[in-house]
Structure 1
Amino acid sequence: MSIKQFQVTFDCAEPERVARFWCEVLGYVVPSPPEGFATWADYDNSLPPEQRGASFSCSDPTGVGPRLYFQRVPESKVVKNRVHLCVRAGTGLVGDERLATLQAECDRLIALGAAHERTLYADEENESCIVMRDVEGNEFCLD
């Protein structure tokens, strides 16, 4: 049997903040709160104090993309990610058109709290891409 679905898990300091950032980046949505709770805040307030704000998730409303799960950890990010997301903003585009599309998406994400790390320009082998950081410093690429 082969696995067809998977979840991407982020270790972070503020799970809801990071989840809501990625909702905006990817067009993902926050699922409905558990039955019996009007809001996630209501649910969170029902938990013991040490568990409040400990996790959050979001998902692709089409059901195609993986669920993203964010869990609070005590340590902060220290080194480069070993795994990162590539946001496919320029698929099928080349040259100046691709770079302009990536830059427009970069500008949109900076307004959401992301940071521009560096732009890698096209060469003989690769098209341009932009390396960025999310609201907690996790690297990701616009390609």
Structure 2
Amino acid sequence: MARDIQITFDCADPAALAAFWAEALGYRVQEPPAGFESWEQALEAMGVPPERRNDASALVDPEGVAPRLFFQRVPERKQAKNRVHLDVRAAPGLEGEARMAALEAAAERLVSHGATRLERHEPAPPLGAGHIVLADPEGNEFCLD
């Protein structure tokens, strides 16, 4: 039986990290509850104090197909390499230099939005198509492949 999943990020600044991943994946911030024009308005009505209004944020796939991403504030910083990471499919169907050029363009765009470039892995046929490893603004590693 298939399950519906969400991917959760522990982070220091949910709104900022959600904005980065929205840019990286083409996602959008989840709409506020029915009857509210904004999250600020909804949180005010729920009695959430201003200092707690960035405790969480969520992104959804505009097509409604891919998993929801949830960002929650935690007090501790990232300590070590991720054991699970996202692969952002930035060059589907491309091979060789065309693939790496598309990955480089995607990497450059994400670096301009706060990512850090970590390393480039060259194509190594027959199984290695090449990829670029980045970190999001809070240091979570992910790959452009």
TM-score (normalizing by structure 1): 0.92
- Compute the RMSD of aligned alpha carbons: 1.4
Unaligned runs of 5+ in 1: none
What secondary structure sits across from 1:25 in the alignment? helix
Contact 1:9 1:70 survives alignment (8 Å) = yes
Contact 1:89 1:105 survives alignment (8 Å) = yes
Question: Over residues 36-94 of structure 1, what are the superposed CA-to-partner deviations in whole Å (9 max), with x where a residue is unaligned?
Answer: 43222233444035632110001001011100000000100010011100000112211
Pairing 1:43-54 to 2, within 5 Å after superposition: 43-45=42-44, 46-48=47-49, 51-54=52-55
Pairing 1:84-103 to 2, within 5 Å after superposition: 84-103=85-104
What secondary structure sits across from 1:57 in the alignment? strand
Pairing 1:1-143 to 2, within 5 Å after superposition: 2-45=1-44, 46-48=47-49, 51-124=52-125, 125-143=127-145
The list of structure 1 runs, each at least 4 consecutive aligned residues, that deviate by more than 6 angstroms after superposition, is none
Q: Which stretch of the first structure deviates more once superposed, 87-96 or 41-50? A: 41-50
Contact 1:44 1:53 survives alignment (8 Å) = no
Query: How many residues of Structure 1 are paired with residues of Structure 2 in the alignment?
Result: 142
Counterpart of 1:16 in structure 2: which amino acid? A
TM-score (normalizing by structure 2): 0.91
Distance in 2 between residues matched to 1:133 and 1:120, nearest whole Å: 15
What secondary structure sits across from 2:70 in the alignment? strand
What secondary structure sits across from 1:68 in the alignment? strand
Contact 1:8 1:66 survives alignment (8 Å) = yes
Question: Over residues 14-39 of structure 1, what are the superposed CA-to-partner deviations in whole Å (9 max), with x where a residue is unaligned?
Answer: 00110111111111011221234322
Distance in 2 between residues matched to 1:119 and 1:73, nearest whole Å: 31
Distance in 1 between residues matched to 2:89 and 2:104, nearest whole Å: 13
